Amino acid sequence: MAETMIKADNLVKIYKTKETEVLALQGLDLTVEEGELTAIIGNSGSGKSTFLNMIGGLDRPSAGSLFVAGSNLFTMTEKELVLYKRDTVGFVWQNNGRNMLPFLSALENVMLPMHLSSTQKKHDKAMELLELVGMAHKKYSRMNMLSGGEQQRVAIAIALANSPKLLLADEPTGSVDTATANYIFDVFTELNRRGQTILIVTHDTALSKKVKRVVAIRDGKISSERVLKEAYADRLKESGIDWRAEDTQDEYAVLDRVGRLQLPQEMISELGLDDNKVKVFVKDGQIVIARPE
């Protein structure tokens, strides 16, 4: 059976300034099993990037609990957090400048994070990773010699340098063309096939519709989950599918620990409510939400 990779329970994050407090996460619950490829979607300000930063050890939670690969991110010391970021998680940033050092070649950038290995072993592993992402032929190229898509592929190799248990990607296809985005997704799919657990934050509709599990965050909580339909599971590389237009996933509302759920705004608008009260009842084995009479 798969181990639990991420366990977030009633997770809260509050940002404080002198003037105000911002509640970025408000009781988020999420479990991701080892070996899953999961995408997180949501509007700007929904809390998805905050959540990714906390999993990556870049930000501290305010309340609740958060475990990643068995490590408690609430109780880590600063030294433990450094080791966690080095050994447990790999991060692919949307801003390529955060992924690579411009004065080093692609090969040197991939070798840089490796530790406690001989130079030869570092070289061999770096070449293996560059081959995996299709960039072995650009091993001596520096950042300014690579296109945005090529930089992002090297960034994935860098994130994998220390064999992390969890790979995190923040908008990995946000600044590349469609063909490159498809290639990058194919790389993630191949990594996942080999057993790599991957969590992606994305606005890319086509990419999110290819992922087997998509979690939507709204107002700092999980609002719904989408699951890839079985009919599409083996068709990811078919060029004839319009992934933006086709209905490739089943969507499910998510109940929180006390039975609350978030309704999409378009459904609420369709009810034409005068205030925030609705009638809820069970009919023929289904829960019905209706406008008050």
Whether 39 and 171 share a structural domain: yes
What pLDDT, on a 0 to 100 scale, did the predictor assign at position 68? 95
What pLDDT, on a 0 to 100 scale, did the predictor assign at position 39? 94
Whether 81 and 214 share a structural domain: yes
What CATH number should be reported for the domain holding residue 136? 3.40.50.300
Whether 20 and 100 share a structural domain: yes
Q: Which amino acid is at 200?
A: I
Judging by DSSP bridges, how do beta strands 166-170 and 197-201 pair with one another?
A: parallel
Domains in the chain, number: 2
Residue 116 vs residue 21, higher pLDDT? 21
Over 70: is that where the pLDDT of 1 sits?
Answer: no
Whether 246 and 270 share a structural domain: no
- Token representation of residue 59: 């930000």
Whether 125 and 71 share a structural domain: yes
Whether 274 and 208 share a structural domain: no
Domain that includes residue 134, residue range: 4-258
Residue whose C-alpha is closest to residue 211's, from 262, 173, 253: 173
User: Backbone phi, then psi, for 268, in 5-degree steps?
Assistant: -65, -40
Whether 113 and 247 share a structural domain: yes
Residue whose C-alpha is closest to residue 168's, from 76, 72, 38, 75: 38
Whether 40 and 145 share a structural domain: yes
Residue 292 vs residue 257, higher pLDDT? 292
Cα 224 from Cα 264, distance rounded (Å): 9
Whether 271 and 238 share a structural domain: no
Whether 75 and 94 share a structural domain: yes
What pLDDT, on a 0 to 100 scale, did the predictor assign at position 275? 84
Over 90: is that where the pLDDT of 126 sits?
Answer: yes
What pLDDT, on a 0 to 100 scale, did the predictor assign at position 116? 64
Whether 67 and 172 share a structural domain: yes
